[in-house]
């Protein structure tokens, strides 16, 4: 993509220390559309994370975290997929309704995970 030569077609990235998929556009048209989708918050983002189990023994717990990030409103919805390591860890899916920097990490930390 020539829209932003420094980005080299990357339409969305992950935070340092995280693993997962990068979205890379093959051409300028795709790059412009992908960047627009993220900018307008039309893209749905889902994260799977392994955290200390603060959810209890039930692996079917779900909830909402409404906690500001950098003094801006932020909302995440989480679902505990399963507990691991003898109940010491939990595999959690987090869907962000807003798109704040470090939102997933900040929200999970706010509930002790």
Residue 112: both structure tokens together: 């002790």
Q: Tell me whether residue 15 is one of the annotated catalytic residues.
A: yes
Q: Give the Å distances, CA to CA, from 14 to 4, 19, 43, 47, 104.
A: 18, 7, 14, 11, 12
Residue 57: both structure tokens together: 């023994």
Nearest to 109 by CA among 87, 88, 94: 94
Write down the catalytic residue from 15, 28, 66, 70.
15
Query: Which of the residues are catalytic?
Result: 15
């Amino acid at each position: 993509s020539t829209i932003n030569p420094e980005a080299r077609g990357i339409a969305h990235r992950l935070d340092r220390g995280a693993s997962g998929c990068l979205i890379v556009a093959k051409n300028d048209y795709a790059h412009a559309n992908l960047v627009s989708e993220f900018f307008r918050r039309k893209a749905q983002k889902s994260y799977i994370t392994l955290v200390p189990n603060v959810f209890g023994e039930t692996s079917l717990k779900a909830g909402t975290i409404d906690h500001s990030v950098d003094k801006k409103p932020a909302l995440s919805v989480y679902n505990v997929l399963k507990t691991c390591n003898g109940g010491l860890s939990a595999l959690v899916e987090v869907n962000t309704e807003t798109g704040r920097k470090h939102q997933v990490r900040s929200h999970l930390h706010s509930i002790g995970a």
